[in-house]
Amino acid sequence: MTVRWLLARGGFLLVLGGFLFYAVFPFYYALISSLESGSGLFEPSVLPRSATIGNYAAVFGEQPFARSILNSFMVAVGTVAATLFLAALAAYALGRIRFRGRRGVLFTVLTISMFPQVAVLSGMFELIRALGLYDTLPSLMLSYLILTLPFSIWVLTAFMRELPDEIEEAAILDGASRLTVLTRILAPLIAPALVTTGLLALIIAWNEFLFALTFTLSAEARTVPVAIALISGSTQHELPWGIIMAASVIVTVPLLIIVLLFQGRIVSGLTAGAIKG
Amino acid sequence: MSSVALVEIAKSFGRQPALVGIDLEIADGEFMVVVGPSGCGKSTLLRIVAGLAQPDRGDVVIGGERVTHWPPARRGVAMVFQSYALYPHMTAFDNMSFGLEQARASRAEIDRKVRWAADILRISHLLERKPRELSGGERQRVAIGRAITREPGVFLLDEPLSNLDAGLRGHMRAELIELHRRLKVTTIHVTHDQVEAMTLADRIAVMREGRIEQVGPPLSLYRRPVNRFVGSFIGAPQMNFIAVELRGYADGVLVVGLPGGAELRMPIEPEHRFAPAASVEAGLEIGVRPEHLIASNGGKADLAGRIRLVEHLGSATLLHVRCPGIEADVRIQLPGIVSWQAGQEIAIEVPAAQCTIFAAGVAIAHGG
Ligand SMILES: Nc1ncnc2c1ncn2[C@@H]1O[C@H](COP(=O)(O)OP(=O)(O)O)[C@@H](O)[C@H]1O
Ligand SMILES: [Mg+2]
């Protein structure tokens, strides 16, 4: 309890406070702005002066925003399901079965995640057109796998590797097939990692903009990020910030709730593996 | 229930040989203990029997069927792993029922068999617990329970007691014997602990560096080890080895001289009789167990020396004796508590009837 201790403590809190401000303030500001009306928007303040839900009503009134939310939801869920299924299968092979070229495959997977999205855009577009998926939700699920699979496979492979061989061998002696070993024994043991990668995939799929803009055209297939970008004012020179902010809040809140719900599992996912079953 | 035969099994990892031509037959219902130091290939052998590893050469025969290339589950074997390898996310009940479930047993049958095994192992009250809520001994029982619920023809145990503390280990040894008496399942039990081997086995196979050195009933290995390695590995405290010199060899009887000058006469085993005395002389040693040496009170004194250390074990006393001309201390185990003290001079009688003579590490004569 010396001066040094106080300084260290104070410094730590200061850094923490700064970081918190940096992370949370934009969202707070969006929340405030979404509750303002008219010209109030352009006079910055920390506390809202008026609180109207006019902007929120406008979000749903001026376009099929509910439809966009539903689309985003379906795309996100589909992407997460496909990601976890494929990544778990791949991780089982890459993490637990010895075969020639295993490292090569792992590094190829890593390389894929290094391409910028624009670089694959035109090729992906051709693929989606060829498959007849243009302007449909599956086109987005398919393209998002490029973004979600590489890190999911890497994380799950690392976790699979940590599991002791003998547990798997015990299951094989018990007469379990490979698929049963994966679903009944290994997957439950890496559940925290599945939750963590699933959440990251969910966030990516929910927020993705470029693919969604390119591969969909109609309002029926539009997802939330695109819908927000397309919100326009009554004249060309007016940006309806209030409505955009309201829309942003609407789509951020469910994500926040989900992440907070799974928070405990995420933390254990990031630190597990050190503990032996 | 099945017999097991291993025929010329060989296995290498890369260039490193792990098993070199293993031949072993285990009768139906027999309790075979494979014993040997760490790294000699015991686990590899067990995994080959289970089908978790493939031998490079040789065959595994179970119940008369050549099963070398069969998948593990079809072989009718169950294994208890050294780490137990319980499924951490399942209750004890689910751990034990998983195999039956895979075999598509009915709900009622699963329930009956799990409760039967739990009853035998006295873990009925633990069935709803997860492995992390169980003590080491309890996990051990669940692991054994998981193996017996499937009523395997062959039961494989990989150092099942090595993770338990000494008291529990003694207790579980007795339970394993009881379990085997009750179920009569062919068992291969692997351990590095020779006490475990002596107390459990119908027959013991002693392994070293991927080879089987000797197979036989515990007491026959104790009395008549075929070589120095088996002699030193089986029995505690360890056998004494004393270098001796050849004094004479006639009519199949060998006469050797101890460092103090005393002589021992022993008949050579028939299969070693052809060995000419000259080659026999290479590294001639006698092996004699500490419990067979006699502290001589004015009687015959084959060795003499000064007591360096006295170890009181309660039921016995172990004397470490420094004898001139002998490199290592000679150890004598005397029954009960004795009055000998460090620093005292002691004369030792070496009964020829309890000695083994080794030439270049191979036993050529047994007193007993
Ligand atoms: N999967 C493996 N890869 C490479 N070497 C192995 C493997 N398993 C065992 N070995 C080697 O084979 C030898 C025998 O091992 P093991 O059968 O586990 O011995 P034990 O069970 O008697 O201690 C050891 O030298 C060990 O290093
Ligand atoms: Mg081993």
**Over the stretch B200-244, which tens digit does the pLDDT of each residue have?**
999 999 999 999 999 999 999 999 999 999 999 999 899 999 999
For residue B42, report the distance from its CA to the centre of ligand 2, in Å.
6
| B44, B84, B89: best to mutate for the A interface, most A CBs within 10 A | B89
Of B72, B86, B88, Cβ closest to residue A172 = B72
Q: Please report which confidence band the pLDDT of residue B280 belongs to, taking 50, 70 and 90 as the band edges.
A: low
Are the Cβ atoms of B87 and A180 closer than 8 angstroms? no
> Ligand 1: which of B9, B11, B13 to mutate, most ligand atoms within 8 Å of CB?
B13
Supply the pLDDT for residue B141: 93
The torsion of the CA quartet B103, A92, B47, B81, rounded to 10 degrees, works out to -80
**Which of the ligands is closest to the CA of residue B45?**
1
- DSSP symbols for B219-240: HHHHH--SBHHHHHHSSSSPPE
What residue of A is the nearest CA neighbor of B96?
Answer: A174
Q: Among A38-52, A104-118, B125-139, which is the least confidently predicted range? A: A38-52
Where residue A273 falls (left for φ over 0; alpha for ψ -120 to 50; beta otherwise) is: left
pLDDT digits (tens, 9 = 90+) for B44-63: 999 999 999 999 999 999 99
Kindly state the tokens that stand for B307: 């007591």
pLDDT at A230: 85
**Which residues of chain B does A180 touch, with a Cβ-Cβ cutoff of 8 Å?**
102
Residue B83 has its nearest CB partner, among A166, A176, A188, at A166
Band of pLDDT at residue A39, cut at 50, 70 and 90: low
Q: Do A180 and B77 touch (CB under 8 A)?
A: no
- Ligand 1 touching residue B41 (CB < 6 A): yes
In short, whether B13's Cβ falls inside 6 Å of ligand 1 is yes
Q: Has residue A236 got a pLDDT over 70?
A: no
Mean pLDDT of A89-107: 92
CA distance A76 to chain B (A): 29
At residue B104, the pLDDT reads 92
Question: How close does chain A come to B13, measured CA to CA in Å?
Answer: 14
Q: Residue B154: which H helix or E strand, with range?
A: strand B154-158
CB atoms near residue B346 (< 10 Å): 19
Q: Which two tokens stand for residue A249?
A: 């809040």
Nearest one of A239, A204, A231 to A72, comparing CA atoms:
A204
How far apart, in whole angstroms, are the C-alpha atoms of residue B145 and residue A37? Answer: 71
Q: Give the pLDDT confidence score for residue B279 in this predicted structure.
A: 58
**How distant is the Cα of B183 from the closest Cα of chain A, in angstroms?**
19
Q: Which of B88, B89, B99 sits opposite A174 (nearest CB)?
A: B99
Which pLDDT score is estimated for A275? 41
Q: Ligand 2 centre and the CA of A168: distance in Å? A: 17
Tokens 């969604």 map to which residue? A212
Best mutation target, B87, B95, B134, B156, to test chain A (most A CBs within 10 A): B87
Of B73, B82, B131, the CB nearest to A175: B73
Contact B73 A170 (CB under 8 A): no
Is 70 exceeded by the pLDDT of residue A276? Answer: no
Which atom of ligand 1 is nearest the CA belonging to B37? 22
How distant is the Cα of A159 from the closest Cα of chain B, in angstroms? Answer: 15
The reply to whether ligand 1 has any atom less than 6 angstroms from the CB of B297 is no
Residue ranges of domains in chain A, CATH in brackets: 64-229 (1.10.3720.10)
Q: Which of A42, A18, A19, A21 is nearest to A32 (CA)?
A: A42
- CA R_g for chain A: 23
**Percentage of chain A exceeding pLDDT 70:** 89
H/E element, B198:
helix B194-200
Terminal CA-CA length for chain B: 37
Q: CA–CA separation, B216 vs A236, rounded Å?
A: 97
Residue A244 and residue A226 in contact, taking contact as beta carbons nearer than 8 Å: no
Nearest protein CA to atom 5 of ligand 1, as residue: B13
Q: Which residue type is seen at A197?
A: T
Q: Name the maximum alpha-carbon separation found in chain A.
A: 72
Instruction: Inform me whether the pLDDT recorded for A257 exceeds 80.
Output: yes
The reported pLDDT for the residue numbered B35 is 97
Starting at the earlier edge strand, list the strands of the sheet with B77-80.
B77-80, B154-158, B186-191, B31-35, B203-208, B211-216
Please check whether residue B73 is in contact with residue A175, taking contact to mean a CB–CB distance below 8 angstroms: yes
- Looking at residue B269, its pLDDT comes to 82
| Closest residue to B85, CB basis, from A164, A175, A176 | A164
State chain B's mean pLDDT as an integer.
92
Residues in chain B with CB shorter than 8 Å from the CB of A166 are: 81-83, 85
Query: Is there a contact between B51 and B75 (Cβ–Cβ < 8 Å)?
Result: yes
Per-residue b/e over A199-212, b at no fewer than 16 CB within 10 Å? bbbbbbbbbbeebb
Residue nearest to atom 6 of ligand 1 (CA): B13
Cβ–Cβ of B102/A174 closer than 8 Å? Answer: yes
Work out whether strand B316-322 and strand B330-335 pair parallel, antiparallel, or are unpaired: antiparallel
Neighbours of B337 (CB within 10 A): 11
Peptide bond into B237 cis (omega under 30): yes
A97 in reach of chain B (CB within 8 A): no
User: To the nearest whole number, what is the mean pLDDT of chain A?
Assistant: 87
CB-CB contact of B264 with B355 (8 Å)? yes
